[in-house]
C-alpha cells in the first residue's frame, strides 16, 4: 500500500528509446534509495551514541561509589536497598554480556523475521496483482464485483491515511530535529528522525519517544529536559488543532475512540507490529462492515416524514 504507488511512479520514467522502466528495476531503484538513506542516517547519528556508551561503560565502575554516596544522603535512603543496588551495578557489565550471549539466538530469530517480511514485501510488489486476481476468481461473479468495489474503496481510504500519516511523520521529524538541535540535545539528528518514524503509531509512538528524548536531555540539564517537553506540548496542540484536521480530513473517518481501541487491540494481538497496522486495518474493517453489516434504511425519506398540513 505504501511502496507500490512509489514503484508505479518510478516506472513512468522513460529511458533511452522511449522505453519505460520495468517493475523489477523500479523496485531495485527504490530499495537502493532506501538503503542509501539508512546508511546515511547510521553514519551521521550512530557514532556519537556508540562513543558515549563505550565511555559510560568504561567510567561506570569508578562512578558507582560516588553515586551511592549521593543516594545515601537522601531521606529514607537506608530503606531503598542502596548497597544491594551498588553490588548489582558493579556486576552489571558481566550480567549484560551474559544476557547478550544467551539472547543471541532470539535476536537472530527477530532478524530472520525482518528478512522474511522484506522478501514477502518485494514479492507482493512483483506479483500482488496476480495473486489478488486469482483469489477474486474463486468467488461468484456478482459477489466478486461487489467485493472488488468495496476493497477499492478501502484501498483509497487506507492510502489516504498512510499518505497523511507520512506527511505528519515528516513534519514532526524535521521540527523535532531543528528543536533538539537548538536545545543542544545529544544525538539530536538520530532522535529527531526517531521521533518522525515512531509517529507512525498514533499517540503511543510520540509519547514513548519524547520520554526517551527527555531522559537523554536530563543527562545534561533539567532545563533541556523542560525545553524538550515544552516543545512537544506545543507541537501536539498545533498538530491536533491545525495539522491533523487539514491533512487527515475525510481520509479515515474513524472516531478517536475507535483509533484508541484499534491500537490497544493491535498491540495486544501482535505487539509493535500490530500497533503499526492497527489504524489501517480498522479502516479496512470499517469499510467492510459498512458494506456488508450496516443495515441501511431503504425507505424513501417521504414515507417517514409527516404529511404537510
* Res 73 pLDDT > 70: no
* Res 67 pLDDT > 70: no
148 and 92 in a common domain:
no
Q: Is 123 domain-assigned?
A: no
User: Is pLDDT larger for residue 101 or for residue 34?
Assistant: 34
Q: Do 227 and 201 meet the contact criterion of CB atoms below 8 Å apart?
A: no
User: Is pLDDT larger for residue 283 or for residue 251?
Assistant: 283
Q: From CA 169, how far away is CA 161, in angstroms rounded? A: 12
Q: What is the pLDDT of residue 180?
A: 92
219 and 86 in a common domain:
no
Q: Residue 20 pairs with which residues in a beta bridge?
A: 14
Query: In the chain, how long is the greatest CA-to-CA distance?
Result: 93
Q: What is the pLDDT of residue 172?
A: 92
User: Is pLDDT larger for residue 105 or for residue 84?
Assistant: 105
Q: What is the pLDDT of residue 69?
A: 64
For 187, the domain range is 141-294
Q: From CA 242, how far away is CA 239, in angstroms rounded? A: 6
Q: Which of 216, 178, 170, 197 is nearest to 276 (CA)?
A: 197
Q: What is the pLDDT of residue 309?
A: 44
Structural domain count of the chain: 2
Q: What is the pLDDT of residue 303?
A: 47
The grid cell for 131 is 495473486
Q: Is 245 domain-assigned?
A: yes
148 and 283 in a common domain:
yes
Q: What are the pLDDT digits (tens) for 219-248?
A: 888 899 999 999 999 998 998 888 877 776
Q: Is 217 domain-assigned?
A: yes
Q: Is 122 domain-assigned?
A: no
Q: What is the pLDDT of residue 250?
A: 56
149 and 94 in a common domain:
no
242 and 162 in a common domain:
yes
Q: What are the pLDDT digits (tens) for 9-54?
A: 888 887 777 788 888 888 888 889 988 988 887 787 778 777 776 7
282 and 163 in a common domain:
yes
57 and 198 in a common domain:
no
DSSP letters, 36-68, are HHHHHHHHHHHHHHHHHHHHHHHHHHHHHHHHH
219 and 156 in a common domain:
yes
pLDDT band at 171 (very low <50, low <70, confident <90, very high): very high
DSSP letters, 200-222, are TSTTHHHHHHHHHHHHHHHTT-H
43 and 155 in a common domain:
no
Q: Is 52 domain-assigned?
A: yes
Residues 6+ apart with CB under 8 A from 304: none
Q: From CA 72, how far away is CA 82, in angstroms rounded? A: 7
93 and 187 in a common domain:
no
pLDDT band at 103 (very low <50, low <70, confident <90, very high): low
The grid cell for 32 is 537502493
Q: What is the pTM of this model?
A: 0.68
* Res 109 pLDDT > 80: no
The grid cell for 237 is 496542540
Amino acid at each position: 500500500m505504501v511502496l507500490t504507488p512509489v514503484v508505479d511512479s518510478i516506472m513512468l520514467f522513460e529511458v533511452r528509446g522511449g522505453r519505460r522502466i520495468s517493475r523489477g528495476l523500479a523496485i531495485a531503484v527504490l530499495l537502493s534509495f532506501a538503503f542509501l538513506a539508512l546508511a546515511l542516517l547510521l553514519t551521521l547519528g550512530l557514532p556519537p551514541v556508540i562513543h558515549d556508551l563505550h565511555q559510560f561503560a568504561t567510567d561506570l565502575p569508578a562512578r558507582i561509589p560516588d553515586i551511592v554516596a549521593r543516594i545515601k544522603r537522601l531521606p529514607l535512603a537506608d530503606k531503598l536497598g542502596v548497597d544491594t543496588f551498588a553490588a548489582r551495578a558493579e556486576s552489571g557489565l558481566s550480567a549484560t554480556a551474559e544476557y547478550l550471549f544467551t539472547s543471541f539466538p532470539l535476536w537472530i530469530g527477530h532478524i530472520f523475521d525482518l528478512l522474511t517480511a522484506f522478501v514477502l514485501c518485494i514479492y507482493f510488489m512483483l506479483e500482488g496483482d496476480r495473486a489478488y486476481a486469482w483469489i477474486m476468481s474463486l468467488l461468484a461473479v456478482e459477489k466478486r464485483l461487489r467485493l472488488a468495489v468495496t476493497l477499492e474503496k478501502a484501498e483509497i481510504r487506507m492510502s489516504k491515511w498512510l499518505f497523511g500519516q507520512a506527511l505528519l511523520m515528516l513534519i514532526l521529524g524535521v521540527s523535532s530535529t531543528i528543536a533538539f538541535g537548538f536545545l543542544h540535545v545529544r544525538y539530536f539528528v538520530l532522535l529527531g528522525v526517531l521521533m518522525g518514524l515512531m509517529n507512525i503509531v498514533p499517540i503511543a509512538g510520540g509519547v514513548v519517544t519524547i520520554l526517551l528524548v527527555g531522559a537523554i536531555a536530563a543527562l545534561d540539564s533539567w532545563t533541556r529536559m523542560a525545553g524538550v517537553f515544552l516543545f512537544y506540548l506545543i507541537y501536539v496542540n498545533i498538530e491536533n488543532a491545525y495539522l491533523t484536521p487539514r491533512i487527515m480530513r475525510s481520509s479515515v473517518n474513524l472516531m478517536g475512540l475507535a483509533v484508541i481501541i484499534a491500537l490497544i487491540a493491535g498491540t495486544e494481538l501482535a505487539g509493535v507490529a500490530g500497533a503499526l497496522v492497527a489504524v489501517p486495518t480498522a479502516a479496512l474493517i470499517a469499510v467492510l462492515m459498512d458494506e456488508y453489516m450496516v443495515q441501511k434504511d431503504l425507505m424513501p425519506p417521504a414515507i417517514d416524514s409527516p404529511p404537510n398540513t
